[in-house]
Amino acid sequence: MGRALAVFIWVMTLATVWMFVDGRWWFPESITAHGPAYDRQFLISIIVVGLTFAAAQIGLGVMLWRYGSSRRGGNERAVYSHGSNRLEVVWTIVTAVIFVSLGLMGQRVWAQLHFNNAPAGSAQIRVTAQQFQWNFHYPGADNKFGRTDPAKIADASANFIGLDEDSPGAKDDVVVPTLAVQVDRPVELVLSARDVTHSIWVPELRFKQDLVPGLNISVHFTPVKTGKFELACAELCGQLHYKMKSYLLVLPENEYREMAALPPAQFKTRMTELLKKYPLGSVPH
């Protein structure tokens, strides 16, 4: 029995390692400037953890093979041991060094995105999540956001973010359920939530960020590929959470500028057209 179990463990280990090495199940392509650094860091982590995992499982199999009970041999007597302080110290230190180093390396990439301010000249888009939809607020042709006031929120008249129509800069503001950005230009998203915690996730962007009621959380990224990508809420936010999906459109400069300059009604029509125009995925160059 011991040997059969040993073989089973080895086969399982091999199958698990193969799943990752094969590359068939992997992330979708990255479309941001910081994406490759994220992916490199992930790869380093998965290799380190994968080697440790394989070594531990193979070792477990070896122990079973040698010392597992079996009528057909294979039951060498194991040596009884009280443990070894030196070994304990060594593997604790080695593990700590590996994990802390991986943490520090990952932190650098992460901090670039979360601790630094968005680069000058970033396009700003405000994002207000609510049960169960996304509201993306664009400043319009004047590039100025109108004032928003929670008291003015009126879902019945589609004022989901409480935009004060009479405030300066509000007239040309657009609020739509789709996120559209310009390729090769940094974007800053200012995230907030109306009711409960939501989380914005586009796997191709290589980040996921919570939207928390009462907070304005700023994130930034630079898309480097055009196309249409799925955008989902990644925080279980209520019964219809599954419906909280949308799209990210990364548009070529001329297409984006042209749309951004349109008055609200035409902006919305154009957005619908562009959503239809692009198939899912990035546009090959």
Give Cα 128 to chain centroid, integer Å.
18
The tokens for 70 are 């079996």
Footprint of Cu ion on 22-81 (CB under 5 A): none
**Contact 219/246 with Cβ under 8 angstroms?**
no
Nearer to Cu ion, 123 or 129 (CB): 129
Nearer to Cu ion, 166 or 195 (CB): 195
Report angle CA 55, 57, 58 to the nearest 5 degrees: 65
The tokens for 83 are 């443990």
Among 3, 34, 126, 198, binds Cu ion (CB under 5 A): 198
Q: What is the Rg, in whole angstroms, of the alpha carbon atoms belonging to the chain?
A: 26
Q: What's the CA gap between 26 and 48, in Å, rounded?
A: 17
Q: Is 191 in the site for Cu ion (CB under 5 A)?
A: no
Q: What's the CA gap between 190 and 187, in Å, rounded?
A: 10
Site string for Cu ion, 203-242 (x = CB under 5 A): ------------------------------x---x-----
Q: State in angstroms the smallest separation of the CB of 230 from Cu ion.
A: 14
Give the 3-state secondary structure of 118-156: CCCCCEEEEEEEECCEEEEEECCCCCCCCCECHHHCEHH
Nearer to Cu ion, 135 or 222 (CB): 135
Q: State in angstroms the smallest separation of the CB of 193 from Cu ion.
A: 8
Tell me, by CB under 5 A, how many residues bind Cu ion.
4
Nearer to Cu ion, 160 or 267 (CB): 160
Nearer to Cu ion, 34 or 198 (CB): 198
Q: State in angstroms the smallest separation of the CB of 281 from Cu ion.
A: 24
Site string for Cu ion, 242-261 (x = CB under 5 A): --x-----------------
Is the alpha carbon torsion for 251, 252, 253, 259 positive or negative?
Answer: negative
Nearer to Cu ion, 127 or 170 (CB): 127
Residues contributing to the site for Cu ion (CB under 5 A): 198, 233, 237, 244
